[in-house]
Amino acid sequence: MTRILVIGGGIAGAAAALALHKAGFDVAVHEAHPATGEDIGAFLTLAGNGMRALAQFDAAEPVAALGFPITTMNVVDQHGAELATTPLGEPDDPLTRYRCLRRAELGAALQAEVRRRGITIRHGARLTAVTETTADISAHFADGTTATGDLLVGADGLRSAVRAWLDPAAPAPAYAGQRVFYGYSTAAPPPPGPTGRITMVRGSATAFGYLLSPAGETYWFARVPGPPVTAEEAAATTPAQWRSRLHPLLHPDRTPTAQIVATTGDRLMVTNALHLEQGTRWRTDRAVLVGDAAHAASPATGQGASMALEDAVVLAKALRDTPDPAAALARYEHHRRPRTDRNTATSARLTAAPTAAAPTPSPAPRPPDSRPDEDLLHLLTWHTPLP
Ligand SMILES: Cc1cc2nc3c(=O)[nH]c(=O)nc-3n(C[C@H](O)[C@H](O)[C@H](O)COP(=O)(O)OP(=O)(O)OC[C@H]3O[C@@H](n4cnc5c(N)ncnc54)[C@H](O)[C@@H]3O)c2cc1C
């Protein structure tokens, strides 16, 4: 049986392990972190296409038990005037409903599923080097151990060590031009309208999004153009100081955003929006990249996790349906690169013109690309052969 080493047990790595195991391969996951549950702060929206991908390897139900559904996206301007309302997900299939959930919860649920299916997951295994021969491929770890397999999947995220080995000339991830603020408020006045609605505000100085959880918490983010947060600034700035920097940017607008931020306590975080240049190398005969390691995009389209889940399905189908593994990895890249390039480019465009103040050809951000066309459906559906 083909032995596959998966490097990284985040969203892409756990999903790839589940899909490859379902396709009949002998899979083991090697994850750098000593335990599950890093990054407890951030939330994300998982789009309908991501939920559809999860269903292909029978993992949609545990994820649908987490977080809460989002059924509508409402776009307003800095005066609060409605620009657009878009239904999200596929109404006839509840499993493809968008969900809002904590990133760590999603990672933990996928890792639990990996363990439940008897797939080995080794924590504390930080990859430092890879050696590939015509016969096999070996992963070398910081603790001195080595694992050898027939194939290696690099699912080690934005700062991928597998990518650095595969393509030493690949540029480091670049700053996309925005700081991203995140927070949770239990004291904000509940937004008007139905629950399950995410409101995107094209404010005068930020792109702001907020939604109300069933427990009455307002989840929010703000994408703010400007210089990147430096490591020194991150270490020296308290949540209250970040709040006092963001609040004046929101205050001129006639929307609830300033009040949401003002009523947020210490559960406020800031990070840089980063993305990877397109065109970096994805594969050798025995190694391939998935998820952010291959195609990290700035977060504006909210598609990073969903793209990683789609990668898992297409990679497993390619290896299942192609007798020669190197040809299978080439088929995987052939099917995935145009779509992930499109997501990276769309996200970069939205990042470059995030606010009402910036001129854009259209008044509203394009809704995320989540309703699959026929070709994508065919590509993702587990029981149909890969075209
Ligand atoms: C601010 C922000 C907001 C976002 N919002 C959304 C959203 O709303 N919706 C959405 O779909 N996506 C969103 N994303 C993107 C999404 O979080 C990522 O696309 C997704 O987490 C990628 O998963 P991954 O498994 O490829 O990488 P990661 O989640 O980074 O996982 C990589 C794993 O590899 C491990 N690892 C790293 N190096 C090594 C090594 N050397 N050896 C072994 N293991 C290693 C890490 O510990 C980690 O567990 C957002 C991202 C950001 C930054």
The residue among 205 and 191 whose pLDDT is bigger is: 205
Ligand 1 nearest-atom number relative to CA 107:
29
Would you say the CATH fold of 174-274 matches that of 3-67+100-173+277-380? no
Distance 113 CA to ligand 1 centre (A): 18
Distance 158 CA to ligand 1 centre (A): 7
Residue nearest to atom 39 of ligand 1 (CA): 156
The residue assigned the tokens 């309208």 is 193
Residue 188 confidence (pLDDT): 81
- pLDDT tens-digit series, residues 134-152: 999 999 999 999 999 999 9
Q: Where are the domains of the chain?
A: 3-67+100-173+277-380, 174-274
Distance 36 CA to ligand 1 centre (A): 13
- pTM, two decimal places: 0.94
Give the model's confidence band at 356: pLDDT under 50 very low, under 70 low, under 90 confident, else very high: low
| Alpha-carbon distance values, 374 to 24, 53, 97, 310, 371 (Å) | 27, 14, 19, 15, 10
- CATH code assigned to 174-274: 3.30.9.100
Residue to probe by mutation, ligand 1, list 292, 303, 310, most atoms within 8 Å of CB: 292
Residue to probe by mutation, ligand 1, list 5, 31, 45, 336, most atoms within 8 Å of CB: 31
Distance 259 CA to ligand 1 centre (A): 30
Domain 3-67+100-173+277-380 has CATH 3.50.50.60: yes
**Over residues 254-277, mean pLDDT:** 94
**Over residues 164-188, mean pLDDT:** 93
Residue 351 confidence (pLDDT): 85
Residue 112 confidence (pLDDT): 96
Pair 126, 141: CB distance under 8 Å: yes
